[in-house]
Structure 1
């Protein structure tokens, strides 16, 4: 009898455990609100300097969301310089939250280790409106092992690196920036600025551009050439092109065109401080208008490369749903609205009409002082560009030009390929530390590349770079063989 009773109690406990697990799983995927039918609070972490009027704006956001999907949103911004570290601590801690901004290799790595949910089923249901408007190239380029782990911002899918100039100085000295095709073409202009504008730093510190498709980023020595042999990964720090580029940067450094502490400076060179002549960055159609509006003085750009669709351009801004989310369906419903509902998208991005911006008679908008000073979020990090209101000075064909830009771009060699670094984790860690030691000084011209590049490459060899190159090539060849 005792044995029968023990078996019975064991059976009851087992059934209870199974039912508890099922209930837990159901609650994690259900679309109910909070307790007692109250609105579910979506916890959203995103990048950018925290703003004074965030609570005011999201009070309006939440009024709308309660009616639409019985939810509210608690948005927490983490400042630019703290983002990488703090966002990763949140993910690693196992904290329960719903949505996070992510991009690039962090997106890939966190998806591969299970920190983000695969969203294919949610996209086909709660996110079907979103799926219908987003550029298919963006979704395809963000697949990892055939699944989508994040919602990319529907914007430019391609990348075009440009030299951006202070237009006042371009006009003052009658520079023809259309002739700028290479880094060396900047020299005559830099010389004039150095000699005549003592309050201006000729080059707002940037890392020299190199035409490679990087596996990790431009600091790590793994890339596929954009031109020429696009099927084989190389250590591009061994190339003649890299040596020549860094020699040019070093000559600029010695001439005083960059700050003496260029390699170590934490100065982010904000555009709203007019203390620079030329800088380098990624552009999109009519970007100069956006940058001019933000800086409050005119800038003008010249391309350093043709538009190209890279993994980091399609994954430059993503919203992922955390594996710890208690209500992924509700999170997806919010992302669906954020990317398809013009009212919500503009409210989150521009703030409150009449407070942060006002509408012109033709439907375009104009920023009010509170938009600039109290609620200025990074547009690219929030969602679909194509439902944003145009400013009065925006070209009417702005979004059409974005689509043309995407269609004109050529794919990078590794578009859609995501390297799994697990087999060479130790080597990658060692190479990362070596690159942090050498790359900033070389790329800013702060040291002589004829002395330091050989030292850099010797240390890379000792750290096992050849093993990593072999593993990248192996995985790339396997991936390439499966492409249609």
Structure 2
């Protein structure tokens, strides 16, 4: 009897030890990266028109995240027209937050001034699955002085500008858009639309395509030609091609094909308003299907250029972790999950199954009215595309085509080069103000380029453009030598 009692006591103690160990293990897992076991709230700023059902969707997101990583997310959407101004106030004020959508020049400048965390070590630990999933071209292209400050969305790494048309009008007037190769090729169609479609603006407000690799953006006068001499930076506003392009735009403006207030209007020409005939933008494989689905009418596009991998195409959609974040490790855990967990990625992007979309027997999906009306968020800005569910009318090879598109693209001259503007900061400030004065009117055709381009270039000279060009060339040559190019 005594031996049996000792055995039972030992068994009870063993079970207690095992349960204690399990409890301790579960607790340490759930509390990882948070204080006192409470879920860490991740504050996320992203671009896009605020949606009615965001809170409803993120209630489901947070149920999932609490179980997976003991965190919740508070996502704030900032509308397109307010984005730049409001986010710069947020960053410059030092407001504590965790994640912000960023891209292009804004990404580079905010990283260089210390607003974003370098995340290479976090990618090797909390983000290792995410790092393995990303296209290496994307990761290489977003490095600044050898460090990574943002997580690129796994999507098209290249850019291809296209002319996009309202298909109803193309079919109605039997236009052959396959013949459109240049801006000038649009003229016969614009004439017909202007004459016959009173409620349609023939050309949505666009900035005409020019074949350059811009150091900052297409408003600033610094670029490397995509053809010819790709090794020397130029002021492209002095080139004959720019003059010819702006002359065509001015001709279209005078003919009434472009809105009279194009230079000053803040109208972003949303795709879901059918008040335009042709517009210009950046494309990707099967983009017309995505745009048509969102617009609720059909559009069709033709290319204006060959696919090219630019700095702003690899950095076209990034999530950066703020240096004000109180828990970067937990934030990286969330970003790792968002980009590798199909359930979470689709929930954030498409909303709630049965409310915002339905899933078919074959795994494809279709939108419900609430998806378009109450939770229509920009897919490109949220993360990895390649784990998103396909729509029922999507080609089955959609993501394979994206990868082929990326692999076929040619690198731009400055891919991987990021200019440090500190040596010419005052000159750039003056040039920025001058560009804001001249560029919108020139690029939309609102003024005569034969009169205004010479004035623009004269002011650029007076502001010190030659000094900036020289500094860009110096840094570019040093970068090429260092990279062995």
TM-score normalised by structure 2 residue count: 0.93
The residue aligned with 2:50 is: 50
The residue aligned with 1:99 is: 99
The residue aligned with 1:416 is: 416
> Aligned ranges for residues 58-457 of structure 1 at < 5 Å?
58-457=58-457
SS at match of 1:56: helix
**Counterpart-to-counterpart distance in 2, 1:326 and 1:265:** 40
SS at match of 2:49: coil
**Counterpart-to-counterpart distance in 2, 1:381 and 1:342:** 16
**Counterpart-to-counterpart distance in 2, 1:437 and 1:323:** 34
Q: Which deviations, in whole Å up to 9, do the C-alpha atoms of 1:143-165 show, x marking residues without a partner?
A: 00001011000000000000000
SS at match of 2:386: helix
Question: Is the contact between residue 34 and residue 41 of structure 1 (CA under 8 Å) also seen in structure 2?
Answer: no
Question: Is the contact between residue 33 and residue 329 of structure 2 (CA under 8 Å) also seen in structure 1?
Answer: no
Q: Which deviations, in whole Å up to 9, do the C-alpha atoms of 1:179-238 show, x marking residues without a partner?
A: 100001111111111111111111011011110000110000000000000000000000
Question: Is the contact between residue 33 and residue 71 of structure 1 (CA under 8 Å) also seen in structure 2?
Answer: no
Displacement over 3 Å in runs of 4+:
31-35
Question: Is the contact between residue 81 and residue 266 of structure 2 (CA under 8 Å) also seen in structure 1?
Answer: no
**Counterpart-to-counterpart distance in 2, 1:370 and 1:289:** 19
**Counterpart-to-counterpart distance in 1, 2:34 and 2:69:** 12
1:470 Cα offset (Å): 0.3
Q: Which moved more, 1:258-267 or 1:335-344?
A: 258-267
Question: Is the contact between residue 161 and residue 282 of structure 2 (CA under 8 Å) also seen in structure 1?
Answer: yes
**Counterpart-to-counterpart distance in 2, 1:34 and 1:125:** 17
**Counterpart-to-counterpart distance in 1, 2:446 and 2:99:** 40
Q: Which deviations, in whole Å up to 9, do the C-alpha atoms of 1:375-413 show, x marking residues without a partner?
A: 111100100000000000101110000000000100000
Give the number of equivalent residue pairs: 454
- Two-structure CA RMSD over aligned residues (Å): 0.9
**Counterpart-to-counterpart distance in 2, 1:476 and 1:35:** 46
**Counterpart-to-counterpart distance in 2, 1:237 and 1:172:** 38
Question: Is the contact between residue 237 and residue 457 of structure 1 (CA under 8 Å) also seen in structure 2?
Answer: yes
**Counterpart-to-counterpart distance in 2, 1:172 and 1:81:** 33
**Counterpart-to-counterpart distance in 2, 1:168 and 1:372:** 21
**Counterpart-to-counterpart distance in 2, 1:32 and 1:354:** 33
The residue aligned with 2:10 is: none
**Counterpart-to-counterpart distance in 2, 1:80 and 1:270:** 10
1:34 Cα offset (Å): 3.6
SS at match of 1:400: helix
Question: Is the contact between residue 142 and residue 416 of structure 2 (CA under 8 Å) also seen in structure 1?
Answer: yes
Q: Which deviations, in whole Å up to 9, do the C-alpha atoms of 1:34-83 show, x marking residues without a partner?
A: 43211111111111111111111111111111111111111111111111
SS at match of 1:37: coil
Q: Which deviations, in whole Å up to 9, do the C-alpha atoms of 1:237-291 show, x marking residues without a partner?
A: 0000000001111111111111111111111111111111100000000000001
**Counterpart-to-counterpart distance in 1, 2:384 and 2:422:** 34
**Counterpart-to-counterpart distance in 2, 1:376 and 1:112:** 33
**Counterpart-to-counterpart distance in 1, 2:441 and 2:179:** 28
**Counterpart-to-counterpart distance in 1, 2:196 and 2:295:** 23
SS at match of 1:477: helix
1:93 Cα offset (Å): 1.4
The answer to whether the aligner puts 1:462 opposite 2:462 as a matched pair is yes
Question: Is the contact between residue 159 and residue 284 of structure 2 (CA under 8 Å) also seen in structure 1?
Answer: yes
Question: Is the contact between residue 141 and residue 314 of structure 1 (CA under 8 Å) also seen in structure 2?
Answer: yes
Q: Which deviations, in whole Å up to 9, do the C-alpha atoms of 1:20-39 show, x marking residues without a partner?
A: xxxxxxxxxxx844432111
Unaligned runs of 5+ in 1: 1-30
**Counterpart-to-counterpart distance in 2, 1:463 and 1:356:** 53
TM-score normalised by structure 1 residue count: 0.93
